């Protein structure tokens, strides 16, 4: 069952902040291909958030990464459809990995397929098309108002632009899918999410055990010293008595 408290452990908050920063960088720095098509690694960051952190942190990583990236290095007007796409890019794998019973690689494939067609191919394309407007060859020419005034066929223009973008977006999704699978195979995130805190616990247990051992040893040493002291005191008291007895015998 979904539990909001489980979404905000100290560990998840730290990794959420880290992935938000990485997603900002992924939104700012991308590899241009052609026109408005890029190789972007937002897939990678958002998928890691969804797979390993859960629903709420994933939404934060996807949304804040896009918003802060647009705020710090704007590449055009703010586009709410692209923001929604970025959120869904993290939300979809989070839900798939939470509820699907398939293995990780099948879940990655399902998530990439859904994100490719719902987020990058549809929402991103629609957002760009509504902001700029495109001609029948899929080339940016005018804004949306001028596009309407030119009496161009809206449906044909959008679907033409979508068809032109799908090959590039598919390439982008495949590149990110390969990187995601490599990270899963390496187990880097599994170690980051679990081993660190286990080690802290183990270190704490070892420290407590060591302290207990030292305390026990200290108590035993103190007891031994006390015993020797008492024994030494008894010997000291007996020596004069022996001298007295000897003196009396001699007398």
Phi then psi dihedrals of residue 79, to 5 deg:
-120, 105
179-235 pLDDT, tens digit each: 999 999 998 888 887 755 444 444 434 444 445 555 555 556 655 655 565 455 454
DSSP 94-112: HHHHHH--S-HHHHHHHHH
CATH class of 4-186: mainly alpha
* In the chain, where the domains are located: 4-186, 189-251
Burial class (CB in 10 A: 0-12, 13-18, 19+), 108: buried
89-127 pLDDT, tens digit each: 999 999 999 999 889 999 999 999 999 999 988 998 888
42-87 pLDDT, tens digit each: 999 999 999 999 999 999 999 999 999 888 888 777 888 999 999 9
Cα distance from N-terminal residue to C-terminal residue, the chain: 98
Q: Given this model, what pLDDT does residue 129 score?
A: 84
């Amino acid at each position: 069952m979904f539990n909001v408290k489980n979404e905000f452990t100290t560990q998840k908050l730290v990794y959420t902040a880290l992935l938000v920063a990485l997603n900002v960088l992924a939104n700012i720095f991308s590899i241009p291909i052609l026109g408005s098509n890029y190789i972007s690694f937002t897939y990678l960051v958002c998928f890691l958030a969804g797979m390993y952190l859960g629903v709420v942190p994933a939404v934060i990583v996807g949304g804040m990464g896009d918003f802060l990236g647009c705020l710090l290095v704007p590449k055009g007007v703010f586009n709410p459809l692209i923001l929604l796409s970025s959120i869904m890019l993290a939300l979809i794998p989070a839900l798939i990995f939470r509820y699907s019973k398939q293995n990780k690689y099948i879940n990655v494939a399902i998530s990439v397929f859904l994100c490719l067609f719902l987020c990058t191919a549809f929402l991103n394309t629609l957002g760009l098309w509504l902001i700029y407007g495109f001609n029948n060859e899929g080339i940016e020419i005018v804004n949306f108002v001028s596009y309407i005034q030119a009496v161009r066929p809206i449906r044909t223009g959008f679907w033409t632009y979508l068809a032109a973008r799908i090959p590039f977006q598919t390439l982008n999704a495949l590149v990110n899918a390969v990187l995601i699978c490599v990270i899963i195979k390496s187990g880097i995130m599994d170690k980051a999410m679990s081993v660190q805190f286990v080690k802290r616990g183990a270190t704490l247990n070892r420290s407590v055990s060591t302290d207990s051992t030292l305390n026990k040893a200290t108590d035993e040493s103190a007891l031994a010293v006390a015993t020797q002291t008492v024994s030494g005191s008894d010997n000291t008291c007996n020596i004069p008595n022996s001298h007295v007895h000897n003196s009396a015998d001699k007398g």
